[in-house]
Amino acid sequence: MTANNMKYGLIYNIVDFNADIVIKRRLIDLGFRKSSNLQLIKRSILKANFLVSVDGVVYAIRKELANKIIVKEK
């Protein structure tokens, strides 16, 4: 399942990234690492943008990027 499909109130672990090396590197530099805790805080009305927490740090990401983050429920 991708971060695009996360539900409110649940905590997920990042399993992998379905992206090219440049995007993977950028995500890792921002703090998105495998086995990190990921939680959905807010989603825009059209599900185009997401506010997520990664190990306590809050990020705003676009739908396209969220679709590249593979997660599993903790």
Domains of the chain are 3-73 (2.30.30.90)
pLDDT tens string 16-63: 999 999 999 999 999 999 999 999 999 999 889 999 999 999 999 999
pLDDT at 47: 86
Please give the order of strands across the beta sheet that includes 69-73.
57-62, 49-54, 37-43, 11-17, 69-73
Confidence of residue 74 (pLDDT cuts 50, 70, 90): confident
Closest CA relative to residue 23, chosen from 71, 65, 58, 57: 65
